[in-house]
Structure 1
């Protein structure tokens, strides 16, 4: 009999099953954290508060979030904020500073830097040039068409060999 109290079941067989069950529980918890970020993107959120809400350590939450979604919770939060900012800037009735604070950023400089990294142009240029970018497109499609693409994910320019 094994230490798990089941005849014919050794530790090597049970441990992988327990590890898999824990991974599945972590995925559910991390999905809830992501959903919370999506809902509360305009609120002040920090890793410690998110971790407390998930009953995890901040380090474990950060590692698992990155493993599951490919980016840190902070990067995900900033992407959500930039997406919302893009929508507000396209409307054209708010200044960049008003948009910055409306999406939960507390620093115009940090917001502008992150916006430029994700979108490729500063928020003021985006506001000026894209105020009619989604005009005539149903909102359900506009979100996909106008979604930011990280510069590092964009195709590198091909050299002109001619």
Structure 2
């Protein structure tokens, strides 16, 4: 799943406009111009399409966390170097304050039921023997289910 897909799907799910995305990116520590955002939101087959950078997507998700939950008490967490599907799933979990049961329900709504142990494997340390990478299909389905879950 591309970072552009994450932006487009969350824009729809949260029912926000481009100005709100720009504000959320600024809250997350990055400045994105309206012109660049328009290019991020275009489809891949459009000639003006530009691939969204991991830093811009991460800043957007950090902004969503700040918007939904407020600033963190204490020191800011250290940034992880690897921004992948596991990190996107983790940030969505934090932003929407989802517990394991909520996440399983979201995946059920998207017709992708998994077990609790499979879910916990996505949030383990990469070096843990039971760590699993989040595949793009699962993240895509999770975002579809999240939309249904939030609109109930």
Task: Using structure 2 for the length normalisation, give the TM-score.
Answer: 0.27
Task: Using structure 1 for the length normalisation, give the TM-score.
Answer: 0.26
Higher helix fraction: Structure 1 or Structure 2? 1
